[in-house]
């Protein structure tokens, strides 16, 4: 699933190109991706001007001129691209918005697996939309002190906690693995066992990894592409994600992979050692 760096890359690419453009025509090939009244969706969009494109967590928000907003969720395989109207229509393109700049360009939503969706809402009701209202703070909005208090207040294991969108918005499986590797913290460590120094390392690793991934336009591991339809580059810099069985760049130990909370988790067993203390002593 596209995570914060991928969604932010798409938003940055789109807002430079589609803000100020008018939607002239809507073509919907898969009605079930629309999670709002279908008739209103199809009748309201033509004629509206795109005023702003922004991100909240893993959601793309497109504000329109008639106090409407589109909420776009890419699901597992979704793509949102700005392309020439003459470009071939790829299979699994579910929605096309024709833009009124001499009808030269379109905004296309495409997804192989149909887990994503698009929803039209009144802009004034955005904060009340459940999928947005339940999101935690953005990673870049948190101070170190706020992060330490936020994570330290939980007892769950640190990786599932980073993945919990109600705790922090935008981090997914790829970047949770990369963040914890950089911080040298085992993904199974309980949050309440982490010292302020541990949490400081995670905080700075989180910011550094996300910034670097945005600079490289995200990770194209499977279906993700930028708004231009191009692949990202950060997957070339992954330290642990999808590198199971390969040597750690830091110490040479083989990267391990296991299931944690139903998700594949990648880590270095040497750099991210987890010591469990028992009545009989310590074991690793």
Q: In order along the chain (284 residues), what is the average pLDDT of each group of 10 residues?
A: 96 95 97 97 97 98 97 96 95 96 87 93 94 97 97 94 98 98 97 95 98 98 95 98 98 97 96 68 45
Strand order in the sheet with 68-73: 50-56, 59-64, 68-73, 117-122
Tokens of 281: 């002593």
Domain boundary among 77, 102, 133: 133
SS3 content of the chain, % helix, strand, coil (to 5): 30, 25, 40
Q: Which domain holds residue 167?
A: 139-283
| Distance in angstroms (rounded) separating the CA atoms of residues 224 and 53 | 19
Whether residue 261 sits in one domain with residue 220? yes
Whether residue 262 sits in one domain with residue 221? yes
22 flagged as catalytic? no
Whether residue 125 sits in one domain with residue 12? yes
Whether residue 163 sits in one domain with residue 124? no
2 flagged as catalytic? yes
Binding residues: 113
Domain boundary among 133, 162, 184: 133
Whether residue 156 sits in one domain with residue 28? no
Q: Can you say how many angstroms the Cα of residue 235 is from the centroid of all Cα atoms in its chain?
A: 14
Q: Are strands 93-99 and 105-110 parallel, antiparallel or unpaired?
A: antiparallel
Output the pLDDT for position 102: 61
Output the pLDDT for position 276: 56
Whether residue 17 sits in one domain with residue 82? yes
Output the pLDDT for position 1: 83
Whether residue 150 sits in one domain with residue 209? yes
Domain boundary among 91, 114, 133: 133
Output the pLDDT for position 114: 85
Whether residue 279 sits in one domain with residue 189? yes
> Any idea which residue has 């807002």 for tokens?
15
Whether residue 208 sits in one domain with residue 148? yes
- Count how many domains the chain has: 2
Please pick, among 3, 6, 8, 178, the residue that the annotation labels catalytic.
3
Output the pLDDT for position 113: 85
Residues in contact with 80: Cβ distance below 8 Å, sequence separation at least 6, in sequence order: 10, 14, 60, 72, 74, 107, 108, 109, 227
Please pick, among 5, 8, 56, 58, the residue that the annotation labels catalytic.
58
| Distance in angstroms (rounded) separating the CA atoms of residues 134 and 166 | 6
CATH code for the domain in which residue 201 is found: 1.10.8.50
Q: 3-class SS at 272?
A: coil
Binding residues for DNA: 113
Whether residue 182 sits in one domain with residue 267? yes
What's this model's pTM, rounded to 2 decimal places? 0.94
DSSP E strands, 78-227:
79-84, 93-99, 105-110, 117-122
- Own/partner pairs, 128-133, CB within 8 angstroms, 24+ separation: 129/71, 131/59, 131/71, 131/73, 132/56, 132/57, 132/59, 132/71
Whether residue 165 sits in one domain with residue 76? no
Tokens of 180: 């914890």
CATH code for the domain in which residue 38 is found: 3.20.190.10
110 flagged as catalytic? no
Please pick, among 138, 263, 269, 270, the residue that the annotation labels catalytic.
263
Whether residue 227 sits in one domain with residue 104? no
């Amino acid at each position: 699933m596209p995570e914060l760096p991928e969604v932010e890359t798409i938003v940055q690419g789109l807002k430079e190109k589609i803000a100020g453009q008018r939607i002239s025509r809507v073509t919907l090939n898969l009605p079930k991706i629309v999670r709002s009244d279908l008739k209103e969706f199809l009748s309201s969009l033509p004629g509206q001007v795109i005023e702003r494109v922004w991100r909240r967590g893993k959601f793309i928000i497109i504000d329109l001129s008639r106090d409407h907003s589109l909420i776009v969720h890419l699901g597992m395989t979704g793509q949102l691209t700005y392309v020439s109207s003459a470009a071939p229509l790829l299979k699994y393109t579910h929605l096309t918005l024709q833009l009124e700049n001499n009808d030269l360009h379109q905004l296309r939503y495409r997804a192989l697996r149909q887990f994503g969706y698009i929803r039209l809402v009144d802009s004034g009701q955005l904060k009340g939309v459940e999928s947005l209202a339940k999101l935690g703070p953005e990673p870049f909005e948190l101070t170190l002190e706020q992060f330490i208090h936020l994570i330290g207040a939980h007892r769950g294991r640190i990786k599932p906690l980073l993945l919990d969108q109600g705790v922090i918005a935008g981090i997914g499986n790829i970047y949770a693995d990369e963040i914890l590797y950089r911080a040298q913290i085992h993904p199974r460590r309980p949050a309440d066992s982490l010292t302020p120094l541990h949490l400081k390392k995670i905080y700075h690793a989180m910011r550094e990894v996300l910034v670097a991934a945005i600079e490289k336009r995200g990770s194209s591991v499977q279906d993700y592409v930028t708004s231009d339809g191009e692949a990202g580059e950060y997957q070339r810099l992954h330290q642990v994600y999808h590198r199971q069985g390969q040597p750690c760049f830091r110490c040479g130990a083989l990267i391990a992979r296991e299931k944690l909370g139903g998700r594949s988790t990648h880590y270095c067993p040497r750099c991210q050692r987890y010591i469990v203390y028992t009545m009989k002593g310590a074991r690793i």
